[in-house]
Amino acid sequence: MDDASTQADNKPWYFLPERGFSSMTPEQYIKERITQFRHWYDVKASKAKRRFMVMRSITVVGGAIVPVLINLSDSPIIKYLNSFISLLVVILVSLESVYHYREQWKNYRSTEQLLAKEYYNFVTGEGAYRNLQPQEAFITMVERIENAIESENASTLNVMTTLSEKKTGSDQLDNPNKIKNPPKT
């Protein structure tokens, strides 16, 4: 194992050694870029899914319990419990509209799966890499991987800002002349 490979196992990308133009091998790229990002996207997707599922489960169960509690008793304890559950449901629904865990989960997971697909297509010489010379296949893989990462970044930023703007109406305030439904050509 060379020194760069050892460092890639233990350090983030910004601690890796500088390289000259076009000096990275496919093995280095796979280890330092694809493996690192697949792990990052996998961890982020799992966390976002877990947060979404917990928040959604609590809101669904809380939303079902509140009407039952209202009909059970006029006891002050039940009224306080009902108020607490209602408040918790509203807070969680509001937080989901801010953090968009569902959309993050989908974006991260689909990007992680795309990186895996590109990796396996590359190492087997299938898909976009079929009949390409090794260097051409490597360059094609790098372009496709980097485009996927860039696309995910743009998509996540778009989801985070667009959904928040729709809920607040701030996109209409930012651009009052914006056409809501442009005509189809």
- Taking only the tens of pLDDT, the chain with its 185 residues reads 444 444 446 667 677 778 889 899 999 999 999 999 999 999 999 999 999 999 999 999 999 999 999 898 889 999 999 999 999 999 999 999 999 999 999 999 999 999 999 999 999 999 999 999 999 999 999 999 999 999 999 988 888 776 556 655 544 444 444 444 444 44
Check: CB of residue 92 under 8 Å from CB of residue 84. no
Q: Is 104 left (phi over 0), alpha (psi -120 to 50) or beta?
A: alpha
Q: Are 112 and 45 within 8 A, CB to CB?
A: yes
Given this model, what pLDDT does residue 10 score?
61
* Domain tally, the chain: 1
CA distance 102 to 39: 19
Indicate whether 148 belongs to any domain.
yes
Burial class of residue 104 (count of CB atoms within 10 Å of its CB; 0-12, 13-18, 19+):
buried
183: in domain: no
The radius of gyration computed from the CA coordinates of the chain, to the nearest angstrom, equals: 24
Res 156: pLDDT: 86
Residue 184 DSSP class? P
Q: Is residue 54 part of a domain?
A: yes
Give residue 15's pLDDT: 78
Q: How many residues does the chain have?
A: 185
Domain of 46? 33-169
Q: What is the pLDDT of residue 161?
A: 79
User: What pLDDT score does 177 carry?
Assistant: 42
User: Which amino acid, residue 18?
Assistant: E
Is position 146 within any domain? yes
Question: Looking at the domain assignment, is residue 185 inside a domain?
Answer: no
Q: What is the SS3 assignment for 180?
A: coil
Structure tokens at 178: 């914006």
What pLDDT does residue 183 have?
42
Task: Decide if 88 contacts 58 (C-beta within 8 A).
Answer: yes
Residue 162 lies in a domain: yes
Give a yes or no: residue 40 inside a domain.
yes
Q: For residue 5, tell me if it sits in a domain.
A: no
| Selection from 18, 50, 16 nearest residue 31 by Cα | 16
∠ CA 19-23-28, rounded to 5°: 85
- Evaluate whether 45 touches 109 at the Cβ level (below 8 Å): yes
